[in-house]
Amino acid sequence: MGKMVDGRWLTDEDMDSAPQGAWERAESKLRHWITPTGAPGPAGGDGFMAMAGRYHLFAAWNCPWAHRALLTRKLKGLDRLINVSFVAPRRTDQGWIFDREQGYADHLFGASALHEIYARGAHNYSGRATVPVLFDKQTDRIVSNESAEIVRMLGSAFDAIGANTLDLYPEPLRDQIDAWNDLIYTTLNNGVYRAGFATDQRRYEEAARGVFSTLEIIEEQLARTRYLCGNAITEADIRLFPTLTRFDVGYYSAFKCNQKRLTDYPHLWDYARAFYALPGVSETVDFEIYKRGYHSPNPNRNPHGIVPVGPDIDWTEPHQR
């Protein structure tokens, strides 16, 4: 898959893995912060001032972590303030690449691969070249490649210069939001990958059971409330939704998370359709890309690259929420 070492791209790096068949996600390393005044944010590092047109987002349609950032950009009305470039929905020995002929161009620098953006904006960087990436055009630097923190800063930093008033992290709900975020990330967002990439039966079963245990907890919650923390959208919902959109078309079959489908949970499925119907949200979703991506050729999971013909699911079916 490749990796940056001291600012140079190396092509001989394999998927990060841990002993005894367990898989672990690499930690994001570029964690600066955009704030209204340019002061340093909660993660430390340098502060960057919120300004219209100063920042550029690099994303991938098939990446659930980038999907969080795209959702926040849409829901907060940041389309006019922050432009976006998409890498192609596949990786090569160059990692994430751009493909202008297929409509995936770097509108900022005309790069051919994402690692070129890293080399430009984070000198001597060592680590994975991942999406999302939030880039500062004024200083020619990467602000952050940590999706959770990008969501947090997009959710509030631009409120005084054109973003809408939607509060995704309201003070009275922060303990609840943090608790949901921790649970959803550990057992669901990351849990499906720990199941799908496991090379040991026990590790797989442990991860898969955690996925469905969490889905049951969420199902019970959504029987009582419109969203995870009540009647308003929060960060917790933005973290949950990308996994839901990929579940039946990808994780169920490709990652063996097949105890139940999303459509088997009445309240969760209704909630997912209601979220999908929100203005702008469907523009961040591409089910066909998800299905092709999770069933792409892989020597362990799908050696022949067979893409299923189904499932046939209507996300536009009217919801009851």
Q: How far is CA 198 from the centre of its chain?
A: 20
Q: How far is CA 56 from the centre of its chain?
A: 16
Q: Which of 33, 32, 34, 26 is nearest to 4 (CA)?
A: 26
Token couple for 284: 């961040």
Q: Which of 140, 127, 142, 243 is nearest to 191 (CA)?
A: 243
Cβ neighbors of 201 (< 8 A, separation 6 or more) are 21
Cβ neighbors of 168 (< 8 A, separation 6 or more) are 72, 75, 76, 151, 155, 156, 233, 234, 235, 238
* Residue 91: CA count within 13 A, CB half-sphere: 22
Whether 294 contacts 249, CB under 8 Å? yes
Whether 291 contacts 249, CB under 8 Å? yes
What amino acid positions are annotated as catalytic residues? 63, 193
Distances from the Cα of 94 to the Cαs of 84, 115, 136, in angstroms?
21, 8, 23
Identify the three-state secondary structure at position 108. Answer: coil
Q: Which of 93, 184, 83, 206 is nearest to 133 (CA)?
A: 83
Whether 45 contacts 139, CB under 8 Å? no
Q: How many CB atoms lie within 10 A of CB 110?
A: 11
The string of DSSP letters for 189-247 reads ITHHHHHHT--SHHHHHHHHHHHHHHHHHHHHHHTT-SBTTBSS--HHHHHHHHHHHHI
